[in-house]
Amino acid sequence: MSNDVFNKHIYIMKFFLLATAWGLALSLNAKQLDLGKVSDGSNWIMHMDFESMRGSEIGSYLEDSLGKVPEMEEKMRGLQKKFGVDLMGVSNLTLFGSGERHKGIGILEGGVNASIVTEVTRTREYIQESRVGKKTIFSTDKGRHPMAFSVLKKGKIVFGPDRDYVSEGIQLASGKGSGSISHPILESLTNTLETPGFLFFADVKGAKETAELDQWARMMADKIESCGMVIGDDAGGLKMIGLIETNSLESSEPMENMIRGGLAMMEMKAKDNKRTEGMLEGYEVIREGRTIRVEIDISNSFIIERIKKEMKKAV
């Protein structure tokens, strides 16, 4: 196997391991994405539902475990009292953008005390305050990248790189925007699992026109029209389903082989490592025309055991 092919397999393996980590840490069992709250022309969308996650097997166990650690409960109460954010009350988060670096809109719903957040923000001298209609927008240039946000009623926060992005997000969060149209791959993703908890979609063809990509990423993007992933509970385990639409039949077969190679290496690596042994229950790669479907099954019991070990360290 050449170094280039080996590196590509490693890249695919790291991609799926990273995606798994995101899914495990952030969400399970989510509600459907509301495209009415997504900007028209968005080339990528990420949606997570934390409220439903807390009702899943893993989420329930994690919440119960945290409740048995007084120090953790105290820290969370302190965070809520001081900054107005109740982490266990956060409902969902939707992020979207065109693909331009550091440019996008986020809408967080639930768990936010608007009065406390606003009061705390106004004590920071480096944060400027302005208004768009009746809404207040806070912004700052401090840090690596500019940032702006607005605290809305019903526990919502809209954030973005500047007041223009936040202003558009306010319209969308309030149900006054035009919203985004759907896409065949996105529709397929929302129907693959009954209640996916993590959803990511990218119109790669559109995003690559504005995104800053390195040589390897550009080469991959040139072969992909769109792609996405959902993660959620399924038959007592955690299932990840990815869909990749290539730009041609000629591109689909090499892409399928690359993914198979990456997954085979991931399986081998998981079995050889005591920390990950038992994590992967199985996987399947199916190619139909230009579309490749990847399914990965992760063990719930493995995740819960890992949580137990980490909780012991935290006590």
What is the chain's pLDDT, residue by residue, as a tens digit (315 residues)? 444 443 444 444 444 444 444 444 444 444 568 899 999 889 999 998 776 666 667 777 777 776 666 777 787 788 888 888 887 778 889 999 999 988 999 999 988 888 899 999 999 889 999 998 889 999 999 878 899 999 998 889 999 999 999 999 999 999 888 888 888 999 898 888 877 778 999 999 989 888 888 888 888 889 999 999 998 877 777 889 999 999 999 999 999 999 999 999 988 888 888 778 888 889 999 999 999 999 999 888 888 887 777 766 655
| 140 within some domain | no
| 139 within some domain | no
| 78 within some domain | yes
Q: What pLDDT shows up at residue 313?
A: 64
Name the strand (E) or helix (H) holding 85. Answer: none
Q: What pLDDT shows up at residue 314?
A: 57
| 147 within some domain | no
pTM of the model: 0.81
| 220 within some domain | yes
Q: CA-CA distance, 27 to 33, in Å (whole number)? A: 14
| 106 within some domain | no
Angle between helices 249-272 and 3-26 (to 10 degrees): 70
| 154 within some domain | no
Q: CA-CA distance, 188 to 288, in Å (whole number)? A: 14
Domain extent, residue 53, equals: 3-101+179-314
Three-class DSSP category at 105:
strand
Total of domains in the chain: 1
Q: CA-CA distance, 59 to 75, in Å (whole number)? A: 19
Cβ burial, residue 273 (10 Å; 0-12/13-18/19+): exposed
Residue 93 CA from chain centroid, whole number: 9
| 118 within some domain | no
Q: CA-CA distance, 91 to 108, in Å (whole number)? A: 8
